[in-house]
Amino acid sequence: MPSSMEVEMQADTKVKLTDDDNDSFVKFLDALEN
For residue range 1-34, what is the model confidence (pLDDT) as tens digits?
A: 567 777 776 666 655 666 777 788 888 889 988 7
Distance (Å, rounded) from C-alpha 20 to C-alpha 34? 21
Q: What is the pLDDT at residue 26?
A: 86
∠ at Cα 31 (1, 16), nearest 5°? 55
Q: What is the pLDDT at residue 2?
A: 62
Residue 27, phi then psi, degrees to nearest 5: -65, -35
Distance (Å, rounded) from C-alpha 25 to C-alpha 4? 17
How much is the pTM? 0.38
Distance (Å, rounded) from C-alpha 17 to C-alpha 10? 10
CB 26 within 8 A of CB 18: no
